[in-house]
Amino acid sequence: MTTRLGLGLGVPVPLLAPATATWAAPFAAYYLFLQGRIVYHRLTTKTGLGHQIDAANGNTDPLYIANRCQVNFVENVPIALIIALLAELNGANRTYINTGLGVLFALRVSHAELGLTIQNGLGLGRLVGFYGTQAFIAGFASYAAYLVKDYWLA
């Protein structure tokens, strides 16, 4: 197990979830990008409140699309990261965690950039991102439950 010196006391502290922690940075960076896109549309259109520039524009409204990209990210990524963290803390294979979170990151980017933001929100990335994210959440939740099966069977 990898350790680092913690608390400035020279006491070794084990790294508890390094794989999940590693993926926090790209997910956070992409979230900041999504927020920045909303701010950009708000500033360029002088829209302080609301999520649409022009309600008559419907789903092609760039502020609405940017808002949906960010909200959808927030609806799915935190639960996925929590499930991955629980799996890792209970002994999950770190290769599975890294691979799974890498795929999840690609799915979330695909959902927004190749799905919601193109073809009036009907891009193929939306379908792939949605179903892939659902599969990740279901699969990793099942894996996390499997890792603690002895707790329930004892």
Question: How many domains are contained in the chain?
Answer: 1
Contact at 8 Å (CB) between 108 and 69? Answer: no
Residue 40 predicted with pLDDT over 60: yes
pLDDT tens, position by position, 135-153: 999 999 999 999 999 998 8
Looking at the domain assignment, is residue 8 inside a domain? no
From residue 45, give the alpha-carbon distance in Å to each of 39, 60, 116.
Answer: 10, 15, 20
Domain, as residue range, for 44: 18-153
CATH of the domain at 35: 1.20.120.550
14 CB contacts (<8 Å, ≥6 apart)?
1, 2, 3
pTM: 0.87
Looking at the domain assignment, is residue 107 inside a domain? yes
Q: What is residue 4's predicted lDDT score, i.e. its pLDDT?
A: 63
Alpha carbon distance 86, 72 (integer Å): 22
Q: What is residue 58's predicted lDDT score, i.e. its pLDDT?
A: 52
Q: In whole angstroms, what separates CA 140 from the centre of its chain?
A: 14
Cα dihedral sign, 63-73-106-137: negative
